[in-house]
């Protein structure tokens, strides 16, 4: 069978490209979307990548003369002029292809990493280009599916340059990890081990419905009107009685993430140093970074008090943020003797699966009253409630409430009233006991499945005694992002370790949420991860070959 004649634009970095004529350069390229068996073949993504790169290269060919030769040996960054950023020129190339109809609506663009490798540019360049095109409405990204052309631009008007109008803080808020995790958790087609979600199928729906009906029957006027910014007095009293503290020292919030944002607004000025767990909760990292903080990582697992004191002296931080009990993402619990408190994220305290957790720092801080405690019902009940609270001394609560009223005059009254009923009726405590038993079952199922299907040494982790996560380390030479990409193609979502570090780190780490999926899905997830690790090992020559 004769071999197919290669396109003169294929493999642009391996040879000299010859343009037959200016007319040839202007000839349209057509794309036929594969379907059926062709679409399912392993070569389909590679063919689409070749075709897409060919479109870009044709736009960059010389406009004059026949039989002109162009050297592309050094990649896109060498071929394009330096008059403006490379990512903007890539935006113009893709936008032009869409405008001319060469890149049709519905076309799936190559993965960022694959296109960056072919064009010999950084992945950040491709990411910036894709995001700019999404902002212009030309592309649409879907978690687990890819990035697609959404529509042709309006030929009669140029898109408004919104990026030029955005603040520096907004432009620096470019980490999509949290948004992607939440989107993946909401997609029923995905087995999401990424977002931290409790066993929602254990949620006391009937009891919640009954409590809500009673609330609307007795307190409908309160439920639908504005409420105090600090929270309803009855709910604050219920929180103080169940979790400890003084009702006057409690501020009700729409989840722990809002609490961290309020604390950042209240306590941090641009340039202030903030010490955070390393690794630590990515939502806290994002909030503090957006506030302009200089983030300093402290090894939470090592819990080295001497190191912490050295960091305190060197950086003079404005605050210390720590998640000391069933830490996210590691599941680690810090011994009491090593704790140096300020902002205590206590979200996972109720989810102990072994021995009871040590007392919260907030209760131990009788002398100095410097601990600010953040908590949420997202992990204990459901994230959809968007309900949590901050415990602190009265001056901090008052200042936080003044800041909160600017963006959120009050937290939803109905949720406060219903959860108040659930606490008072004992439903909440019974539910916590139920999900702890179910979480233990799911943890054991995931641990067993991983040990059964993933080769020894390929994925190392400690079995946590609480929380929601397995904090896993991959074997040397295997990149977590490559494993994530391969697993996503099989509709299994995990999150890499990089977003949990304020500095370089986490490239060999995966966080697996074992609570979000029923035990019967653990086997599928583990098999997928085993295949993904093997595929990632084949991509990297430094990885051991025994997994291949």
pLDDT at position 420 is: 97
- Does this model's pTM top 0.85? no
Measured CA angle at 137 (ends 134, 143), to 5 deg: 45
pLDDT at position 311 is: 83
State the number of CA atoms in the 13 A half-sphere of 18 facing the CB: 4
Nearest to 260 by CA among 219, 293, 300, 301: 293
pLDDT at position 196 is: 86
pLDDT at position 382 is: 93
Q: Where are the domains of the chain?
A: 16-165, 184-195+430-547, 205-425
* DSSP string computed for 517-544: S-GGGHHHHHHHHHHHHHHHHHH-TTS-
CA separation for the pair 503, 492 (Å, rounded): 27
Which residues, 6+ apart, have CB-to-CB distance to 298 below 8 Å?
Answer: 275, 276, 277, 278, 307, 308, 311, 320, 322
Neighbours of 313 (CB within 10 A): 8
pLDDT mean values, one per 10 residues, the chain (548 residues)? 36 32 41 43 56 65 37 48 73 82 82 84 86 85 81 52 70 72 74 88 95 95 94 97 94 95 93 90 90 88 72 85 67 46 83 79 67 92 94 93 93 95 96 95 96 93 92 93 91 91 89 93 95 88 40
Query: What is the token pair recorded at 298?
Result: 């402290």
Class (C level, CATH) for 16-165? mainly alpha
The 8-class DSSP code of residue 396 comes to H
Which residues, 6+ apart, have CB-to-CB distance to 534 below 8 Å?
Answer: 547, 548
Indicate the length of the chain as a whole number: 548
What is the dotted CATH code of the domain comprising 205-425? 3.40.640.10
pLDDT at position 15 is: 30
CA separation for the pair 533, 478 (Å, rounded): 7
CA separation for the pair 391, 400 (Å, rounded): 11
What is the dotted CATH code of the domain comprising 184-195+430-547? 3.90.1150.10
């Amino acid at each position: 069978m004769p071999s197919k004649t290669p396109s003169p634009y294929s493999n642009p970095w391996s040879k000299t490209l010859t343009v037959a004529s200016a007319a040839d350069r202007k000839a349209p390229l057509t794309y036929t979307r594969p379907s059926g068996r062709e679409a399912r073949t392993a070569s389909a993504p590679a063919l689409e990548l070749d075709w897409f790169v060919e479109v870009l290269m044709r736009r960059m060919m010389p406009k004059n003369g026949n039989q002109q030769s162009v050297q592309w040996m050094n990649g896109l960054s060498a071929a394009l002029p330096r008059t403006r950023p490379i990512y903007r020129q890539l935006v113009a190339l893709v936008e032009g292809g869409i405008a001319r109809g060469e890149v049709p609506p519905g076309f799936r663009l190559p993965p960022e990493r694959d296109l960056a490798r072919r064009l010999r540019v950084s992945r950040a360049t491709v990411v910036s280009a894709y995001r700019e095109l999404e902002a212009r409405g030309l592309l649409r990204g879907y978690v687990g599916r890819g990035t697609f052309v959404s529509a042709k631009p309006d030929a009669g008007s140029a898109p408004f340059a919104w990026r030029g109008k955005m603040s520096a803080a907004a432009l620096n808020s470019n980490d999509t990890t949290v948004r992607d995790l939440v989107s993946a958790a909401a997609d029923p087609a995905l087995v999401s081990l990424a977002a931290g979600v409790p066993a929602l199928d254990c949620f006391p729906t009937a009891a919640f419905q009954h409590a809500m009906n009673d609330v609307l029957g007795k307190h409908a006027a309160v439920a639908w009107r504005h409420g105090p910014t600090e929270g309803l007095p009855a709910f604050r009293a219920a929180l103080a009685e169940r979790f400890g503290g003084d009702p006057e020292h409690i501020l009700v919030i729409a989840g722990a993430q809002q609490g961290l944002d309020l604390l950042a607004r209240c306590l941090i000025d641009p340039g202030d140093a903030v010490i955070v767990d390393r690794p630590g909760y990515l939502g806290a990292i994002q909030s503090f970074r957006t506030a302009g903080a200089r983030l300093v990582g402290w090894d939470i697992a090592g819990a080295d008090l001497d190191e912490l004191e050295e960091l305190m002296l060197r950086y003079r931080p404005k605050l210390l943020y720590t998640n000391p009990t069933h830490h996210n993402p590691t599941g680690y619990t810090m011994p009491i003797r090593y704790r140096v408190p300020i902002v205590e994220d206590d979200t996972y305290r109720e989810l102990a699966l072994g021995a009871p957790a040590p007392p919260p720092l907030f209760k131990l801080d009788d002398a100095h009253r410097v601990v600010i405690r953040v908590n949420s019902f997202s992990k204990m009940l459901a994230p959809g409630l968007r309900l949590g609270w901050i415990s602190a001394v009265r001056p901090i609560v008052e200042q936080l409430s003044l800041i909160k009223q600017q963006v959120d005059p009050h937290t939803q009254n109905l949720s406060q009233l219903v959860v108040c009923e659930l606490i008072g009726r004992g439903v909440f405590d019974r539910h916590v006991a139920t999900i702890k038993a179910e979480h233990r079952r799911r943890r054991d199922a995931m641990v067993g499945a991983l040990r059964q299907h993933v080769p020894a040494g390929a994925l190392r982790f400690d079995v946590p005694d609480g929380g929601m996560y397995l904090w896993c380390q991959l074997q040397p030479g295997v990149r977590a992002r490559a494993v994530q990409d391969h697993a996503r193609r099989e509709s299994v979502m995990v999150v890499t370790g990089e977003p949990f570090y304020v500095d370089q780190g986490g490239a060999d780490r995966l966080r697996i949420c074992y609570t979000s999926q029923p035990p019967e899905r653990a086997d599928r997830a583990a098999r997928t991860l085993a295949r993904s690790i093997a595929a990632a090992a084949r991509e990297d020559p430094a990885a051991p070959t025994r997994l291949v």
